[in-house]
Structure formats: structure tokens, C-alpha cells
Chains A and B, each alone.
Chain A
Amino acid sequence: MFKNKKDKKIIIGSSFKFGDDISTDLIAPGRLFHLRSNLPELAKHVLEDADPGFAKKVKPGDFVVGGRNFGLGSSREHAPLVMKIAGVGAVLAKSFARIFFRNSINVGLPALICDTDKIDSGDILEIDLKKGIINNKTKNLKFKFNPLPEVMIKILNDGGLASHIAMNKGFNL
């Protein structure tokens, strides 16, 4: 699914499990509105209101694992962006809110739809983005995530929407 050589096709990391309905207010809250012009600083507070210690615990490549309707609420692209800046390798959920899903792809953060009941906090996952396979090494379980629509794969391959437009001088979907 990822042709761009810069993108890692296999990511390995630890899981941080969250519940259903994780809103963009929990990921990048309005009380930190003034930090939107300072993204590295905002990233230090990522998901703070859902898990106060998360930003300190997360390591590059780790996974945020949600339930249903992950990312509901505001259109703020800062939500997937600060997750990416904090080092999150991918976000996994049973379902995503529409705008968050689109934003994730646009900023180059893989958002994967799968059965997250098969993942607990702390589980080590190895995800093959190209083959669409999640290997839960802790539980010794292999399962698939849903493939992305063609257009979104094209956008990801070009390194996100801004690069897609810059490279093609417009849409080339």
C-alpha cells in the first residue's frame, strides 16, 4: 500500500488502549488552543485528558488503539498531527469519525480499521502496512485491517495531500 520509499512499511511498537468515542477535545483540547501555533509544545499534551501520562510514556512507533468512532468532534487537523509529532506509528480503531480519518491520511498518519478487541494495552504489535496485516506478538494473533479507498492510497503514496497537490500541480486521483 505504501510505495514511497521514505515510509516504513513495517512498524513495531507497544499498544496504548483507549475506549470508544475518543474526541478531538481529548486529543488536542480547546484549553490549549493557543498552542496550535506551537505544535511541538502541543504534542507534549497529546491525549492528556484521556490519559494524563500518555505523552511521556509513548515511544516512536507506538500505537494508539481505540474503540468505535475514534476522533469524533472538531475538524482540527492538529489532533492527528500532534499524535504523529509525538511519535505515534499508527492509530487503530473499530471505526473512525469521518473528518479525523481524512485528516490522518492527509498528514500521513496511518489510520487502520480493525477489530481492536484483539489488542490490550501493552501488547506488542508488528504491522505490515503493505500487506495489511497486524501481528499481535504478545497474544500470538494475526489479523487484517480494512484496506483504504484507492484515492487515499494515492494520497498516502505521495506523502500526504499537500505533497500530492504540489507534485501534480493539482489533483491527480
Chain B
Amino acid sequence: MNIQRKKRVKEKSRTLKTSLKGVFLYKTISEKIISKHAGRELEAGDIAVVDVDVVMSQDGTGPLAVSQIKKMGFNKVKNPSKSIFFIDHAAPSPRSELSNSHIVLREFASQAGAIVSDVGEGVCHQILVESYTCPGDIIIGGDSHTCTSGALGAFATGMGSTDIAVGYALAKTWLIVPRTIRVNFNRRINKGVFAKDLIIYLIGKITSNGATYKALEFGGEVGNRLSMDGRFTISNMTVEAGAKTGIFPADDITKEYLKSQGRLDCFKEISADKGAKYEKIIDIDCSVIEPMVCQPHTVDNTLPVSSLEKIMVDQVFIGTCTNGRFSDLKIAADILKGRKVASGVRLIVVPASKDIYLKALKEGVLETLISSGAVVQSPGCGPCVGVHQGILGDGEVCLSTQNRNFKGRMGNPKSFIYLSSPATAALSAVKGYIADPREVLG
């Protein structure tokens, strides 16, 4: 066989293999999205450089991304309308050093053609789902909870500042196509139990590194019926199990949500192929799940509220990219209506975005919360990151609706953080100790 013929045969067999893979390979949602963005058929384990649709960072990770963009010799972003710098972690700024970091972001964005989402607009992940994320997108963000956008059927993952800098400059990144763990939330969900309880239950079951490097893909009759707000909460916390992304199919519920945001044009249906290869399938009977908490200092240290001894709380925080949405504030207000926050307890409420803030204002939700004793602060990350707006004192206990309770997370390594749903948080604020919301919702 001469060399040219050998080459032709080799090429032919490669084409055949590719098309065979393309036609016959049943794919998970992640495999579908990454293949499309790589321009070739891929399966779990493959490595590819892919196009990226949306790139973002926030005021904690953005300044380092800016200096890395400059270090690489770039001065523009590749895709201005989908390159965003969010000012949400320390917003409004509590210190001059942070105010100066904000100036760095505003100046760079203006010169490079990127978008700034400034003080008071809200948490990056919430603004993304409201205004940017489309089903089928690849989204990289300089924030670990970027996986939140997976709820809309996007492949969304958190990365560090240098990877994000490359994303801004080239609108590309490199990825290993992750293996997928399929999680089916089955049967029915009990009264007083919410999406937050489902994800806490799952993390308790698989632990904080149970999905490291993996994609979690959700379904099951409860999963398929979950509201978008519930899906956001679940996708948001998948990184707490180590996952690269947490993805829901894009279906009628997704479509309705995008329509309500005036973005119906970006909807497309996405689901896994029947016969897709999963590393593991986890079936969860939701009817046995009770209201849950994560105890200090890890997210996988979980327990049903009913098994908890009496834990007195100093502060309750309802908000964040996990649970600062309208339905979260509404359930809290429903519980707090006609009740008062216990004396000695601080209840802090932070809407996740300006739109949520306005809706809660118009519908009287904020009035109910404030009348019962809550302090409502400007949209953003609030006290979750330990920078401002509710740093804990030595020995203090906080029950929060956020996603993380690591030692020192809320600004003081000598404090203790429990995590729960907004309903559990609201009733606990009234009682002064961590309480089971089924007492009033059951």
C-alpha cells in the first residue's frame, strides 16, 4: 500500500468512526452541549477546546481576571454583549480597598467593551438566569456557583480568574467532557419540604466530593415538575457535592420562565437521549425527605430538623443565589405574617436581584417581613461571603439559606453556620431556635 493510499484509508475510517459516533451514540445533556460547542462528536472523558457563550466574573475574582487579560496581551473582550463583570459580593462597598477594585472593573469594562452589572443589580447567578443564560449555552464564571445556570439546560461551570480571563479574551475554554450521574427525584414532595431540602438530602447522601468532576443531571417525576426557582436552588448547590455542573432538561417549565423574562426567542428543548450512558443513576424517594439542615462546618454534615437538638440562633439570613428569589421571600413572609421575630434574633433578608426586590415590594412581601422584625438590605450576596452586612460575632450561631457553612464563611471562624430552606429559616427566626416548618405548613 503506498503512503497516499494508506492516508486515504486512515482518513476514511476516521470519518466513518466519527459519523458512527454522531449517529448512534446516545448522549447525556452535557455531552450534547459540549459536542455542539466543539464542532465534533464527543463523549465523557474526551478533552476539547470549546466555544463559550457567556463569560462572567464578580468583584472578588474579576480584578485578577483583568490583570491576567492584560498580562496575556489583550485589551478587548471577544464577545462584548456576553462578557459581564458583576459587582455583587461587596456591594455597596464597605472598604476603600474594595471600592478601588470596583473602579478597576468599571474602567476595564468600559475600555474593553464589556458589561458591568453594578451595585444593587443583584447576585451574578440570578442576573445570568434572568437576562443571559439560554438552554444549550456553555457558560463559564469566576464563581463556583456558576452551575446555577444549569437549571435552564445550559452547561455552566465555575472556574478561576485565569481561565475566565482566557474566556473573556478568546470566548473559548478547554474542558474534559464529564461523566454524568443521573439523579431522579421520584414520587412526591411533602408539605413543608422544598427544593433546598432535596439538594441538602442528596449532598448528605453522596458527600461533598460525591460528584467531583461529574455532571449531575436531574429528572424523576418530582424533578420534572419542580418550578424554575426550585431548579435554580438545586443546580446552585451541586458544586457542594463537587460537581462540575448540575443540569436540568430544558422543557415547558423552562419555556414558561424564559417567556416571563421576555426571552422566549432563546428557548430550545434539550433533554438527554434515552439510552445515554450514566456513570450511576441515583433514585430518590422524595416522600421520605423531611425539612433538612446542614450543620457546621461542612455542607454534607446533614440532619433532618426533627432529629436536631434545640439549637438557639442569633442571626437568621434569608437570601443569596441559593434562596433569595421571590418564592423564597414569599414563603418566608407567609410564615412571618402575624408573627414576630424572636427577641434577641436578627433576621436579615436580601433579595437576589433588583427585579425580585421590586416584585417583593409591589406585592407587600417586604412590608410583611419588615413589620415582623426583618432587616431588608440591598440586592447582592449580602452576608454570605463574610465581607459585610451581617458578620457574625464570636460563638454566634446563624441559620442561613445560603449554600455554604464552612468555618469562617460569614466572616468569623469562631462562629457557627447552619443551612436550611427559607421556610425553616423563617419559622426559626420566630421561635429563636431551629424549628420544623411543618409545624405551621403541615
Do A173 and B242 touch (CB < 8 A)? no
B160 near A25 (CB under 8 angstroms)?
A: no
CB <8 Å contact, B61 and A29: no
Contact present for A161 and B163 (CB under 8 Å): yes
In the bound assembly, the distance between CA atoms of A170 and B162 in angstroms comes to 13
A1-40: contact bitstring with B at CB < 8 Å (1 yes, 0 no)? Answer: 0000000000000000000010101100111011111100
The answer to whether A117 has its CB under 8 Å from any CB of chain B is no
- Rounded to whole angstroms, the CA-CA distance of A103 and B174 in the bound complex is 13
- Return chain B residues, CB-CB under 8 Å to A98: 212-213, 242, 244
Asked if residues B97 and A68 are in contact (CB atoms below 8 Å), the reply is no
7 CB contacts below 8 A, A to B, read A36-B63, A69-B209, A95-B212, A102-B159, A102-B160, A103-B160, A106-B162
Chain B residues contacting A68 (CB-CB under 8 Å) are 209
- Whether A38 and B408, one on each chain, are in contact in the complex, defined by CB atoms closer than 8 angstroms, is no
Which residue from chain A places its CB closest to the CB of B59 in the assembled complex? A33
A162 B404 Cβ-Cβ under 8 A: no
**In the assembled complex, how far is the CB of residue B9 from the closest CB belonging to chain A, in whole angstroms?**
27
User: How far is B166's CA from A36's CA once the two chains are assembled, in angstroms?
Assistant: 20
Q: Which of A78-115 contact B (CB under 8 A)?
A: 78, 81, 95, 97-99, 102-103, 106-107
For residue B417, give the distance in angstroms from its CB to the closest CB of chain A: 11
Residues of B near A160 (CB, < 8 A) are 162
- Asked whether, in the complex, the Cβ of A34 is within 8 Å of the Cβ of B98, the reply is yes
Q: How far is it, in angstroms, between the C-alpha of A80 and the C-alpha of B59 when the chains are bound?
A: 18
B100 close to A (CB within 8 Å): yes
Is B5 an interface position by the 8 A CB rule?
Answer: no
User: Chain B residue with minimal CB distance to A96?
Assistant: B212
Beta-carbon contact of A76 and B408 below 8 Å: no
Contact at B406–A38, with CB atoms within 8 Å? no
Query: CB-CB contacts of B222-257 with A at 8 A, as 1s and 0s?
Result: 000000000000000000001010000000000000
Say whether, besides A25-B409, A34-B95, A97-B209, A166 and B404 are in contact (CB < 8 Å). no
In angstroms, how far is the closest chain A Cβ from the Cβ of B216? 13
B73 contacts A by Cβ under 8 Å = yes
Q: CA–CA, A160 to B73, complex, Å?
A: 15
Q: A121 in the interface, Cβ–Cβ < 8 Å? A: no
Q: Cα distance A21–B73 when bound, in Å?
A: 37
> Known contacts A73-B144, A99-B158, A166-B71; is A37 also within 8 Å of B100 by CB?
yes
A173 x B49 contact (CB < 8 A) = yes
In the complex, chain A residues whose CB is within 8 Å of the CB of B406 = 23, 25-26, 73
Q: How far is the CB of A167 from chain B (nearest CB, A)?
A: 10
Most buried by A among B146, B212, B244: B212
B371 is an interface residue with CB less than 8 A from chain A: no
A73 to B342, CA, bound (A): 32
Once A75-B159, A151-B174, A170-B170 are accepted as A-B contacts, the answer to whether A69 and B212 lie under 8 Å apart by CB is yes
What is A's interface to B at a CB cutoff of 8 Å?
A: 21, 23, 25-26, 29-31, 33-38, 49, 68-69, 72-78, 81, 95, 97-99, 102-103, 106-107, 149-151, 160-162, 165-166, 170-171, 173
> CA separation between A165 and B74, bound complex, in Å?
10
Number of residues in B with C-beta < 8 Å to the partner? 56
Chain B residue nearest to A23 in the complex (CB): B406
Q: Which residues on the A side are within 8 Å of B162 (C-beta)?
A: 77, 103, 106-107, 160-162
Contact between B208 and A72, CB atoms less than 8 A apart:
yes
B165 at interface by CB-CB < 8 Å: yes
Are B158 and A37 interface neighbours, CB within 8 A? no
Q: Is the CB of A49 within 8 A of B387?
A: no
Cα–Cα, bound, A162→B98 (Å): 25
| Nearest-Cβ distance from residue A34 to partner chain B, whole angstroms | 4
| Chain B positions 48 through 80: 1 when the CB is less than 8 Å from some CB of chain A, otherwise 0 | 010000000000110110001001110000000
User: Across the interface, do B72 and A77 meet the contact criterion of CB distance under 8 Å?
Assistant: no
Q: From residue 76 to 119 of chain B, which have CB atoms closer than 8 A to chain A?
A: 89-90, 95, 97-98, 100-101, 104
- Return chain A residues, CB-CB under 8 Å to B159: 75, 99, 102-103
The 7 residue pairs across chains A and B that have the minimum distance between CB atoms = A30-B386, A77-B160, A103-B160, A34-B97, A69-B209, A23-B406, A49-B413
In angstroms, Cα B198 to Cα A82, docked, is 36
Tell whether B347 is near chain A: CB-to-CB under 8 Å: no
Complex Cα distance A68/B430, Å? 39
Give the complex CA separation of A166 and B213 in angstroms.
Answer: 27
B72 touches A166 (CB 8 A): yes
Q: B68 to chain A: which residues have CB within 8 Å?
A: 162
Q: Which of B71, B146, B387, B391 contacts A162 (CB 8 A)?
A: B71
In this complex, what residue of A is CB-closest to B70? Answer: A162
Please, how many angstroms separate the alpha-carbon atoms of A170 and B174 in the complex?
A: 11
Is there an interface contact between B242 and A72, defined as CB atoms closer than 8 Å?
yes
Contact A78 B64 (CB under 8 A): yes
Complex CA gap A46/B401 in Å reads 28
Find the residue from B64, B208, B209 having the highest chain A CB count within 10 A: B209
A73 to B385, CA, bound (A): 11
A77 near B161 with CB under 8 A, answer yes
Are A166 and B73 touching (Cβ within 8 A)?
A: yes
Closest Cβ–Cβ distance, residue B62 to chain A (whole Å): 10
Contacts of B64 in A (CB 8 A): 36, 77-78, 81
Q: Does B197 contact A (CB under 8 A)?
A: no
Q: A69-B212, A75-B61 are in contact. Are A31 and B386 (CB under 8 A)?
A: yes
Q: State how many angstroms separate the Cβ of A61 from the closest Cβ of chain B.
A: 24
Q: Report the Cα distance A49→B101, complex, angstroms.
A: 25
Interface bits B137-177 vs A (CB < 8 Å: 1, else 0):
00001111010000000000011111101100110101010
